[in-house]
Amino acid sequence: MTTKTVTIQDIELALTSRSFEDFLDYVQILEPPTATSRGGIIKFEKWGYLLEFCKELDTGRLINVLKSRQLGFSWILASYALWTAMYKEGANVLAFSQGQLESVAFLNKARIVHENLPQHLKVGLGRDNDTTMEFPSMKSQITALPSTEKAGRGQTATLVIPISTITLTSTTPQ
């Protein structure tokens, strides 16, 4: 009879690969500096509305969120894209944004999350550039594309994330 020793790291990997909400316990994001904060790498805050959104990600097929900026949705979507590609074999995640710069910025968020995960939770990267993060052992990838007429044509996607930028303008004189 063979005995296998199970470590805490093995258990953490099993939990995070099965549950996106558990994965978020290990997510760190890059906070920009402000007048009152130095910024830098910080632990992702699992606010109540974001946990409700996580449940929708698990059960919903088409999800539309009307939101303002700076609520954490782009970070949670970048984390979800990463989690899907790292732990779902054969996943093809397509992230569309209004332009190339915005799609690259989204993929950079997924990259920051990956870089700051504990080593035992990471899946090795293959090709990693401005538009693609590949995980060869899982035969999975995240591709960031600008929203053009032919972007993503011919691909079968596991997950499609359309990221749009909403600019709120004030009509009140400043």
SS3 state at 44: coil
Residues 6+ apart with CB under 8 A from 104: 130, 131, 144
What is d(CA 16, CA 86) in angstroms, rounded to the nearest whole number? 10
Average of per-residue pLDDT across 162-169: 50
Residue 41 scores a pLDDT above 50:
yes
Contact 90, 99 (CB under 8 A): no
Instruction: Note down the domain range covering 119.
Output: 8-163
Average pLDDT over residues 44-51: 84
**Which residue in 163, 158, 127 sits closest to 145, CA to CA?**
163
Q: Enter the pTM of the model.
A: 0.82
pLDDT band at 22 (very low <50, low <70, confident <90, very high): very high
Structural domains in the chain (count): 1
**Res. 51 pLDDT band, cuts 50 70 90:** confident
* Residue 15 within any structural domain of the chain: yes
Local confidence band at 114 (pLDDT 50, 70, 90 cut-offs): very high
pLDDT value at 143 more than 70: yes
Length of the chain as a residue count = 174
Question: Do the domain assignments include residue 98?
Answer: yes
Q: Give the domain CATH number at 107.
A: 3.40.50.300
Kindly state the average pLDDT of the residues 35-64.
Answer: 80
Tally of CA atoms within 13 A in the half-sphere of 171 that contains its CB: 0
Contacts of 70 (CB under 8 A, 6+ apart): none
**3-class DSSP assignment, residue 144:** strand
